[in-house]
Structure 1
């Protein structure tokens, strides 16, 4: 894969930072227009046609250059999904994140990786297990990925500091949370790698952590959950890992401890039981690997509809949407319209803030 020109790379960053453009919409726009530059130019008209109430917030070239400069001042590096050294594991996602910021040693991202995640309010025994598991996996040649959170995440990073660990942040590459992990963050940035999908200087909000969790599972061949209550971000990471075709393992615990309910339920649902590094390494023996990286392909433009026909199709699709996710294929059947026209109309609805395109080909009302 040949790297992009400087102008296309800047446009790639602008498109990724545009309000309402998530990974799915980004991929659809790129496939439809053939380049990020062409997609950025088309955005205002697409959003207007779909009924967006106000102007679309598209970063200017100067703002994108400012983000690049901010990252460079931190010693960080931006890697776009169109670049040849974008991590293979993330490139295999459907769709991949458009870009990531990295600080430290990004070459670790293409080494064999295992994620260890779990409760923030973790037991001392759980933290000891996570620390020891990370050290054993590191000695077996695995890079340990986690989210730098309190509890299990921090313990996993500590256990793998000497052999290599990756911290994925919800905020910018310089957003250290919790603050008491500042020294741990600095050690990882020096000997491991810090990864973020957010711009430098950005402070994480609650809505950013599912996206962070998708990167954690996406970077990994297997995800091990050490402790988790029934409603926790760690279970979201496990679900994403299963959807991405990664191995999912869970550490069993006492039924009297609420922090074991999530992990025990994962085992009940078919996750592999993990009592040590040997269980993880055995699970990885059956891992089929990631698909070969493919260059973005240009999709033929959708059928040419009149203004009235396009508006009618968008309204018909908007009426079919609800808070319950539905597949794009189901919407094609329900709308009785050609698939390319439906896919294009859904992208326009997402740009207008009337729909949200989710990974896995699902759509919900915005």
Structure 2
């Protein structure tokens, strides 16, 4: 079955429906993640050839590798169509340029609404679910003023700060969800999610019908950070998803900003900690606009740790032979560029070895380009 034109791609003169269908099937196949998906396309040229080659690349010897059944993809596409969603592929001209730059950028997104909002300068606003009334009001005010200043406001549709940021910035708002595009979460935000989908932009990485799971939220957070020139934390505890988003923004070389709060309120301790670590202290929307106006990729905040670029050697993958790196791996995360140094092999050979281990289910990828043995 070919992908229906209305759900396949925004760039159909470059990507056929058959290739679009194969790409969706490739990404839904076992042990294929964003990095391995990109590497498979680079090695084999297109998704159809990659699907054919997958069984030979799983060298675990335990089983014959099976790609996702075509019927699963057919059902997914039908569900996307029913939801009024469209597919956006990583090489579409409408794919957000800043998001494409991050490590592990989602190869395929589903969206509803105005994709043009993602082409505007974007600011992420995140914070506590159990936020104080003052912080909720502040988030709504900041979001409204940023939207009035021509920026798109990005958040994750959670309770508290996220919801206030969306409400304050509609229609110039982008909601990124951890579920399928046809699932409203949290349920009390069903109306808000539908408003974002019809007036703003709603994005989902997971297939339609996917219920949100704990592992999906860090993935959602990387998209929020990746879309944005900067991330503003309004109120957050020291161990929260909001701080994860902020650190992902720093890792991606984006501005990290925080609003200071009382040291007596646990919900402010995360923001105060970020400022102590080098985040930019902001007290008004004008401060935020000043920080991101003319953003040249060099943030003034110091909350950052550059991650190695996993796609720097994609053009060499077609002719590479896998390096012997498995003996260098343990269950402790290590950066893949460290494996290059220790193995003495080329980057493409190391990447190919990691790809084969991932397809065999023996490798896990983490933030910052780090990998470890599965389990």
- Aligned counterparts, 1:58-77, within 5 A: 58-77=67-86
Query: 2 CA distance for matches of 1:278 and 1:24?
Result: 37
Shift in Å at residue 55 of structure 1? 4.3
- Residue 219 of structure 2 corresponds to 211
Query: 1 CA distance for matches of 2:204 and 2:66?
Result: 22
Query: 1 CA distance for matches of 2:126 and 2:283?
Result: 15
Describe the SS at the equivalent of 1:8. helix
**Do 2:253 and 2:297's aligned partners in 1 also have CA atoms closer than 8 Å?**
no
Describe the SS at the equivalent of 2:232. strand
**Do 1:4 and 1:82's aligned partners in 2 also have CA atoms closer than 8 Å?**
no
Distance 1:341-1:302 versus aligned 2 partners, 3 A rule: farther
Is 2:81 the partner of 1:79? Answer: no
**Do 1:30 and 1:39's aligned partners in 2 also have CA atoms closer than 8 Å?**
yes
TM-score (normalised: structure 2)? 0.88
Aligned length: 350
**Do 2:39 and 2:317's aligned partners in 1 also have CA atoms closer than 8 Å?**
no
Query: 2 CA distance for matches of 1:8 and 1:359?
Result: 29
**Do 1:34 and 1:298's aligned partners in 2 also have CA atoms closer than 8 Å?**
no
- Aligned counterparts, 1:141-152, within 5 A: 141-152=150-161
Alignment counterpart, residue 22 of structure 1, candidates 20, 33, 36: 33
- Residue 38 of structure 1 corresponds to 49
Shift in Å at residue 357 of structure 1? 3.2
- Residue 258 of structure 1 corresponds to 266
- Residue 326 of structure 2 corresponds to 318
Describe the SS at the equivalent of 1:299. helix
- Residue 307 of structure 1 corresponds to none
Alignment counterpart, residue 140 of structure 2, candidates 117, 124, 131: 131
Unaligned runs of 5+ in 1: 305-309
- Aligned counterparts, 1:96-245, within 5 A: 96-161=105-170, 163-245=171-253
Query: 1 CA distance for matches of 2:46 and 2:138?
Result: 47
Unaligned runs of 5+ in 2: 1-10, 299-310
Distance 1:260-1:323 versus aligned 2 partners, 3 A rule: farther
Of structures 1 and 2, the one scoring higher in RCO (CA 8 A, sep 6+) is 1
TM-score (normalised: structure 1)? 0.90
Describe the SS at the equivalent of 2:246. helix
**Do 2:129 and 2:160's aligned partners in 1 also have CA atoms closer than 8 Å?**
yes
Shift in Å at residue 96 of structure 1? 2.3
Distance 1:45-1:323 versus aligned 2 partners, 3 A rule: same
The alignment's C-alpha RMSD in Å is 2.1
